[in-house]
Chains A and B, each alone.
Chain A
Amino acid sequence: MATVPSISETISQFKRKDITVEEHTAKALDEAKKLNQDYFYYNVISEDLALDQARALDKKAAKQGIQESREKLFGIPLAVKDSICVKGIESSAGSRMLKGYFPVFNATVVQRAMNQGCVVIGKTAQDEFGFGAFSVNVGLGFAIPRNPFDKQRTTGGSSGGGVGITQKTGYAYASFVESTGGSIVEPASFCSVAGICPTYGRLSRYGLIDFSNSMDKIGTAAKTIQDAALLLEASAGHDNRDSTSSASPVPQYTSFVGKPVRGMRVGIIKEAFGEGVDPGVAASVRKGIEWLEQQGAQCDEVSLELPIKYGIPTYYLLGTSEASTNLAKYCGMRYGAADPLEGNFNSYFTKVRSHHFSEEVKRRIMLGTFARMAGFRDAYYLKAAKVREKMLQEYKHLFSTYDALVSPTVAIQPPTFSEIEKLTPLQHYMMDMLCVGPNITGLPHLNVPLPFSKGLPVGMMLIGDHFQESKLIQLGSAVEEQAMKHKAIQQ
């Protein structure tokens, strides 16, 4: 496979007038359509919007002179997770319930990326409302995306389509993905792409179709950390339409790519290399840690108890509680799916919800509704909120010494669909064991693709303190560089 140009190389091509944005976009659209026949990465391909944007960019460039274009992502194809609203483009969060929902507004991050010259290729496949780790819990009538390295295997989830296309494409791409409990780094690991899940509040959630408001984070994925960091810095920053978005200044993340890591301190999460972790995965991650040490980073084993032990139950209690309220609005009245009007309101919305939500969605609504009922609230929802605080304390204690923590992103490699079928819901939920911790506590984390084991991707996860994305980018790019050299030697 010919090497794929980076975002900056692609912008250079436009500036050299090797290709127009419209031509480039048309090719990316063709590729998207073609790949979709076998890999199902897109729920919607927004051809008209993409071509309109491309022509507008070409026109603007012709008018002011292409060299004058300052947009950081000029003409770059953008894949947007289905749960992130794009004005006028069907945005269904992978659910039949939202079929026919055409938002009247752009998500803030989408608008910002567009302002920087991005061209929206389409809305990417995901588990319905983000409820899953393999992108197999897609809504009724949606296709399941396939792993770019083996069609019989999962892309991971829930941002499966977004990372899948990012890996499979032959073009420089930027991708908006979203994570509540691990939905960025886990699929990024399974598809071997760079995925950044930033601090909660770093990117505006305005326009994100909610799963769990206290944990949802929009993030970025790309072939390289450099490109993922570029999209992050183009879209981060305070948004007065999202009260939880942070006003802290946005660093130039890309300037941390390739910065020396000598003297940085990294904690190796001991528990994440224990039982249940695939030996090939562990070995590959150990190799990555060695590379950091060789470059002068100091890596010590540390213990992280609470998130590994209680991360999953805490995540599911908080996540389903919030999700069950977020999903209440879907009653077939104002947007999305509707059924013939019959009976009173109660019988109507019951019918609509029974009809258009899939099994997993119903399971989570029931779990969440139960957990916040009077009499159970204290034991479940409120206790989980307290455990979250305790977990954060444990992390904060470690960050008083360490710049970042490291572990495998996922304990295993992408399973086949038939293996997934055999999993119980609980085993399915356990998939996020290593990455729920930073997600619950809103800590930034990053997946770095590592050398493959047994021909399948492996990922390393770096976790940082709040708003320390720069450090993760710095450390991650140091590992990435070695991994690429390693790959080149192997080939």
Chain B
Amino acid sequence: MAKQFTTPVVIGLEVHVELDTETKLFCSCSRRSAEGEQPNTRCCEVCLGMPGSKPVLNKKAIEYALRLCLAFACDIDQELIFSRKSYFYPDLAKNFQISQFERPLGKHGKISLSDGSTIGITRIHLEEDPASLVHESKYVLVDYNRSGNPLCEIVTEPDMESPEQAREFMKKLNTILGYLAVFHHQHCVIKADANVSIKESGYVRSEIKNVTGFKEIERALFYEVVRQKRAIADGETLVQDTRGWNAEKGTTYRMRTKETEADYGYILDADLVPIDITEEMVSKVLHSMPELAEAKKKKFIEKHHIAELDAEVLSQEKKLAELFERVAEQINPILAAKWLRRELVRVMNYNKQTFDDLAIDETHMIELLSMVEKKEITDQVAQKILEELIVKPFSPKEHVREKGLQAVSDTGELEKACKQVVFENPSVVKEFKSGNEKSFQFLVGQVMRKTQGKADPRMVNELLKKLL
């Protein structure tokens, strides 16, 4: 099997995405944890696996899983069938997990990366989350609050040739999840198992289990490739193993070797009747889906003629992309792209804001940029306004009028300010004249200060040069 590989690194991922449904996959318990929640308070007879209880499928989860299948261009099965995956483990309420086996909801999907390569999606299926184990005191405690949460498992082909590709795949997945509104970045968990091997070892595979979070998955992959390469360089022989990820140390560690093929004794779960996935159902989901990032990017380039990199960045976040689309209807798209991609993102990062909680009003954004476009305000003033706008909404137009922040275009007024600065800073002027360029910038800054940033820096430059 390993013979077919030729690339330096081979990576395959199994990603578990927790779906942002109101309730759990098979009962009406809330999926979302409450603030300060006590263990084992968000569970019922079904998610505890009490004798006599029966699972009933959450319809929303089907819709969400279908969205994911469609986003990855999967073939969708005509029936949704659940199986029991049997193994004894203390986090399983029933000692079997309700999952899908022979017939996953979606298979044969794919996604393209920016370097033109295609990553195959082997399968996408629905399953229930086990409980969480709490290692405390000399016992392991079990908290069933999470038990029964809906997970969508996305399995890729071992098509990724570098951790960078894997990182891009995860980034694309993240973007898709954001667009589809099936995953909440704060309230849902994403986990991955990764298969990693390198050419030098003849593709001896290590499986890293259960890495939580986008950043950690990336870190673990980068670490693991380096570890394997170093081991070979040190003359070691790699053996197939299963590894854990220590997020604190940033290292993987061996859990077990000689993985015998687990036999889960899959049988159908007869408590859950097969659900017909009709063409109508699929097309309804398809039509309810937003335009995805790839399509948006293409549109931005073709329709708005903005740079590819700008289009790429703007399309990554659904909110940003939609804001851009609306703004670009009224403002020069190139100007809009520059402001949204660079300035808005910069200001948001500074404020540690994410797009999930971005509250900026598009009319305010349009007002602001339209003043920039008409050169009614300077970039500097606009930047300041944006910084405030992100914290609380207000009309930039009124704000400019009230505070008198209009750009100073009156040459006479500007000249007066320049003269004053030259008069007030004789020593700096002297330094400039003896060849210190920095002194000139200082003088420009002083003029800007005097005019509260309202002056056009280019005009100030010209005037000062003339004066000196």
Contact A206 B267 (CB under 8 A): no
Contact string against B for A residues 78-96, beta-carbon threshold 8 Å, 1 for contact and 0 otherwise: 0000001100000101000
Q: Is the CB of B52 within 8 A of A206?
A: yes
Report the bound CA distance from A244 to B272 in whole Å: 7
Q: Which residue of B lies closest to A381 (CB)?
A: B267
CB distance from A300 to the nearest CB of B (A): 35
Given A85-B51, A206-B52, A341-B139, A331 and B265 touching (CB < 8 A)?
no
Chain A neighbourhood of B88, CB < 8 A: 328, 331, 345-346, 349
Of B51, B90, B269, the residue contacting A103 (CB under 8 A) is B51
Cβ < 8 Å to A, chain B residues 16-59: 45, 48-57
Question: Which chain B residues border A105 with CB–CB below 8 Å?
Answer: 45, 50, 52-53
Cβ-defined partner of A325 (8 Å) among B261, B263, B267: B267
Residue of A91, A334, A369 near B93 (CB, 8 A) is A334
Of the residues B45, B48, B54, B273, contact of A205 by C-beta under 8 Å: B54
| Bound CA span A213–B90, Å | 23
Question: Known interface pairs A103-B51, A322-B267. Does A329 touch B94 (Cβ–Cβ under 8 Å)?
Answer: yes
The reply to whether B54 and A104 form a contact with Cβ atoms under 8 Å apart is: no
Find the A residue at minimum CB distance from B28.
A241
Contacts of A328 in B (CB 8 A): 86, 88, 94-96
Inter-subunit contact A104/B50 (CB<8 Å): yes
Given the contacts A205-B54, A331-B88, A243 and B271 also touching, CB distance less than 8 Å: yes
Could you tell me the distance between the alpha carbons of A413 and B86 in the complex, rounded to whole angstroms? 40
Taking CB atoms, residues of chain A closer than 8 Å to B67 are none
Among A304-330, those with CB < 8 Å from B are 321-322, 324-325, 328-329
Q: Kindly report which residue of chain A lies nearest to residue B85, judged by CB atoms.
A: A325
Verify if B454 is at the interface (C-beta below 8 Å from A).
Answer: no
Taking CB atoms, residues of chain A closer than 8 Å to B270 are 212-214, 244, 322
A240 interface neighbour in B49, B56, B140, Cβ under 8 Å: B56
Pairwise interchain contact A243-B49, C-beta atoms closer than 8 A: no
Query: A179 → chain B, closest Cβ, in Å?
Result: 15
Q: For window 329-365 of chain A, which residues contact chain B by CB distance below 8 Å?
A: 329, 331, 333-336, 341, 345-346, 349
Number of interface residues of A (CB under 8 A): 45
* B56/A334 in contact, CB under 8 A: no
B84 located at the interface, meaning its Cβ lies under 8 Å from any Cβ of chain A in the complex = yes
A101-B95 contact in complex given A328-B86, A373-B265, C-beta closer than 8 Å: no
Distance from A12 Cβ to chain B, minimum over Cβ atoms (Å) = 35
* CB-CB nearest in chain A for B273: A243
Contact B51–A241 (Cβ < 8 Å): no
Residues 89-101 of B, flagged 1 when their CB comes within 8 A of A and 0 if not, give 1100111100000
Please state if B45 and A334 are interface contacts (CB–CB under 8 Å): no
With an 8 A cutoff between CB atoms, is A372 at the interface?
yes
Does A241 contact B52, Cβ atoms closer than 8 Å? no
Q: Are A91 and B267 in contact (CB under 8 A)?
A: no
Give the distance to chain A from B381, nearest Cβ to Cβ, in Å: 61
Query: CA separation between A105 and B53, bound complex, in Å?
Result: 9
Q: In whole angstroms, how far apart are the Cα atoms of A241 and B49 in the complex?
A: 14
Is B223 interfacial (CB-CB < 8 Å)?
Answer: no
List CB contacts (< 8 Å) of B214-273 with chain A: 261, 263, 265-273
What would 14 more interface pairs be, CB under 8 Å, given A322-B270, A325-B86, A328-B94? A206-B52, A208-B52, A209-B52, A213-B270, A214-B270, A243-B57, A244-B270, A328-B95, A329-B51, A329-B93, A345-B89, A372-B266, A373-B263, A377-B266
A-B contacts, 15 listed (Cβ < 8 Å):
A93-B51, A105-B45, A206-B54, A207-B52, A208-B52, A214-B270, A325-B84, A329-B51, A329-B95, A329-B96, A333-B90, A341-B139, A345-B90, A372-B86, A381-B267
